[in-house]
């Protein structure tokens, strides 16, 4: 589809947007009002800058879906629309105060009437509520129409839902700002021009009008705007609800809400993609909506999709939380989940979802170990390209989902390209530096894994009170200047070979000692890793030698036997 058929783009002012009888609706199931004080402050400061300089301010892009007859759905930009309407109301209220004070009553009443018709809408003569130019979503519109647009305070602010409370707070924030800006000014013309000229004519938008939701999503492929994830979720939600039968819709809405409550709006797009590519070919986030729309075409499809998402939502959360009750007392599984969380590994989630849904618990646990070892070798130590991981894991996940890879040996072969061989792993480990300022937990994990291997203990790297000892002191020490001038110190102090484990009191005792005196304390440690330090002097060469020995241990600890 050619771009010029996909969308209509123009640069417009707020006056252009609201003029000519146009009406705007936030689609019923989009997210609630969510702007807070920081955003209100930023917008108000931008308006004051316009007022003082006479320049313009660009508000970014807004994406509108043309519903015909001058009706538009706001696909992206509802927070700005809503907040600007609150500023309009706050300005009209300032004019109403002049009327209450008997100042230029007739002219100010006419100004209020003209501004309301231009920016807000017209009153219904029966209900005395406005047919407004803007309608919010199903959770906010009732309060917006029945209270704010007619300047009626809520009976009890504490009973408002959270988003309505935000709207009310935002309105009062701007009431105070407008009142301060026009303190002592009794000329209604100045107040009206502030809204009608300064704000309406000098706030500029890039207006993008599309014909359908799919086109709106395609726009997001080229707009790298903040908040797209939430809007994409809303687009999908609207689509799924729109193709659901009236009979099924209440059930579907309830199921959707349960999933979102478990996953959270921010994480939902990532969850959805990981679930999708646990069964289907790899697809980028920006094309996901289109793929789902092509696959899900009726109410039965929607229910099937949401049933599966609901089943996987708890699993997905638990994949990033080893303490989640989802895992019960499964010690080995919890151990591997904790490792993957420590490594910040999320690209493997599709294969883990596929494995959990299609394999036995025993085999799922083995897949977890495969992924953990690979992540440590490939990502933590070797720092190899991550793009390959997603592709390999996706292909393996599809095979598992099709049950074409039911054995651990078959799965291991599918993901073998991600396993650095021993020679490469040892080389990378031998030169690895990890700063304790940024990666302290990872360093503890590595040291305690080495210790457990050497001493056949079962120390927990998070619970054990042992501390990380920088053999060459982290902050420098005159006892080490001969072998470690400043330029050399900075390049080796965070090498894995310069770390060991030590009891807290012994660590403090070592703090300022030269190496030959530290060694005597090392020999009294409970940790085999520390007692094995044999060097007579501590130098860059000693660090190299020790780290090379540790790399041999590491290749035995982080190993997949199928690859031997």
Give Cα 158 to chain centroid, integer Å: 30
Q: Are residues 284 and 381 in the same domain?
A: yes
Sign of CA dihedral 106, 112, 117, 123: negative
Q: Are residues 352 and 492 in the same domain?
A: no
Answer yes or no: is 309 within a domain.
Answer: yes
Given 360, 394, 425, the domain boundary residue is 425
Answer yes or no: is 366 within a domain.
Answer: yes
Tokens of 263: 């996953």
b/e map 47-74, b = 16+ CB within 10 Å: beebeeeeeeeebeebbbbbeeeeebbb
* pLDDT for the residue numbered 129: 60
Task: Assess contact for 99 and 192: CB atoms under 8 A.
Answer: no
Answer yes or no: is 218 within a domain.
Answer: no
Answer yes or no: is 219 within a domain.
Answer: no
* pLDDT for the residue numbered 228: 43
Q: Spell out the residues 6+ positions from residue 193 whose beta carbon is closer than 8 angstroms to its own.
A: none
Q: Are residues 91 and 19 in the same domain?
A: yes
Q: Are residues 530 and 483 in the same domain?
A: yes
Q: Are residues 408 and 451 in the same domain?
A: no
Q: Are residues 32 and 135 in the same domain?
A: yes
Question: Helix, strand or coil for residue 154?
Answer: coil
Q: Are residues 362 and 279 in the same domain?
A: yes
Range of the domain at 408: 224-425
d(CA 397, CA 364): 12
Sign of CA dihedral 379, 385, 390, 392: negative
* pLDDT for the residue numbered 255: 94
Answer yes or no: is 246 within a domain.
Answer: yes
Q: Are residues 106 and 167 in the same domain?
A: yes
d(CA 144, CA 149): 6
Task: Give the count of domains, the chain.
Answer: 3
Q: Any idea which residue has 């959990």 for tokens?
A: 356
Q: Are residues 169 and 242 in the same domain?
A: no
CA-CA-CA-CA dihedral for 274, 275, 278, 283, to nearest 10: -50
Answer yes or no: is 412 within a domain.
Answer: yes
Answer yes or no: is 279 within a domain.
Answer: yes
- Low-confidence stretches of the chain (pLDDT < 50) are 1-5, 224-230
* pLDDT for the residue numbered 285: 83
Tokens of 141: 């519109």
Which ranges in 456-514 belong to alpha helices (H)? 486-492, 504-510
Q: Are residues 420 and 440 in the same domain?
A: no
Q: Model pTM greater than 0.85? A: no
Q: Spell out the residues 6+ positions from residue 392 whose beta carbon is closer than 8 angstroms to its own.
A: 414, 415, 417, 418
Task: Assess contact for 281 and 331: CB atoms under 8 A.
Answer: no
* pLDDT for the residue numbered 221: 52
Task: Assess contact for 410 and 391: CB atoms under 8 A.
Answer: no
Given 161, 193, 213, the domain boundary residue is 213
Q: Are residues 190 and 291 in the same domain?
A: no
Question: Helix, strand or coil for residue 224?
Answer: coil
Q: Are residues 268 and 376 in the same domain?
A: yes
Given 380, 400, 425, the domain boundary residue is 425
Task: Assess contact for 370 and 412: CB atoms under 8 A.
Answer: yes
């Amino acid at each position: 589809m050619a771009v010029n058929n996909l969308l209509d783009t123009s640069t417009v002012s707020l006056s252009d947007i609201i003029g000519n009888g146009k009406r705007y609706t936030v689609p019923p199931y989009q997210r609630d009002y969510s702007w807070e004080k920081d955003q209100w402050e930023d917008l108000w400061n931008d308006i004051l800058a316009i007022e003082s300089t006479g320049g313009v301010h660009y508000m970014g892009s807004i994406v509108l879906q043309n519903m015909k007859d001058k009706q538009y759905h706001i696909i992206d930009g509802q927070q700005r629309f809503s907040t600007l309407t609150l500023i309009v109301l706050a300005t009209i209220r300032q004019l109403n105060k002049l009327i209450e004070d008997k100042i230029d009553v007739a002219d100010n009443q006419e100004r209020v009437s003209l501004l309301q018709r231009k920016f807000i809408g017209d009153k219904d003569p029966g209900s005395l509520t406005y047919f407004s130019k803007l309608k919010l979503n199903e959770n906010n519109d009732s309060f917006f129409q029945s209270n704010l647009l007619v300047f009626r305070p809520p009976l009890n602010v504490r009973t408002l839902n959270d988003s309505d409370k935000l709207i009310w707070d935002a309105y009062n924030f701007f009431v105070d700002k407008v009142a301060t800006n026009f303190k002592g000014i009794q000329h209604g013309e100045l107040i009206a021009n502030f809204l009608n000229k300064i704000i309406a004519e000098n706030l500029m938008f890039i207006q993008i009008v599309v014909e359908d939701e799919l086109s709106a999503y395609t726009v997001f492929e080229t707009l790298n705007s903040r908040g797209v994830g939430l809007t994409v979720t809303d687009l999908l939600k609207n689509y799924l609800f729109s193709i659901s039968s009236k009979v099924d819709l209440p059930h579907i809405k309830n199921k959707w809400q349960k999933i979102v409550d478990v996953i959270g709006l921010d994480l939902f797009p990532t969850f959805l993609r990981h679930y999708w590519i646990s069964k289907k070919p790899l697809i980028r986030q920006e094309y996901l909506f289109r793929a789902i729309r092509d696959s899900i075409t009726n109410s039965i499809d929607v229910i099937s999709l949401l049933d599966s998402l609901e089943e996987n939502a708890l699993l997905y959360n638990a994949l990033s939380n080893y303490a989640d009750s989802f895992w019960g007392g499964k010690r080995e599984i919890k151990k591997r989940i904790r490792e993957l969380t420590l490594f910040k590994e999320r690209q493997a989630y599709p294969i883990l979802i596929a494995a959990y849904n299609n394999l036995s618990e025993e085999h799922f646990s083995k897949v977890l170990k495969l992924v953990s070892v690979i992540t440590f070798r490939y990502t933590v130590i070797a720092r190899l390209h991550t793009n390959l991981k997603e592709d390999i894991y996706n292909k393996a996940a599809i095979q598992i989902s099709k049950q074409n890879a039911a054995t651990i040996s078959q799965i291991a072969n599918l993901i073998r390209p991600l396993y650095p061989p021993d020679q490469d792993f040892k080389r990378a480990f031998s030169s690895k530096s990890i700063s304790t300022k940024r990666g302290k937990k990872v360093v503890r994990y590595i040291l305690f894994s080495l210790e457990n291997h050497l001493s056949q203990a079962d120390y927990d790297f998070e619970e054990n009170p042992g501390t990380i000892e920088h053999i060459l002191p982290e902050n420098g020490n005159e006892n080490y200047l001969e072998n470690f001038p400043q330029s050399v110190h900075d390049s080796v102090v965070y090498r894995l070979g310069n770390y060991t484990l030590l009891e807290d009191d012994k660590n403090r005792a070592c703090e300022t000692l030269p190496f030959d005196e530290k060694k005597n304390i090392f020999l009294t440690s409970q940790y085999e890793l520390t007692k094995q330090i044999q060097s007579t002097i501590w130098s860059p060469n000693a660090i190299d030698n020790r780290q090379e020995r540790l790399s041999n241990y590491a290749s035995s600890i982080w190993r997949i036997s199928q690859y031997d």
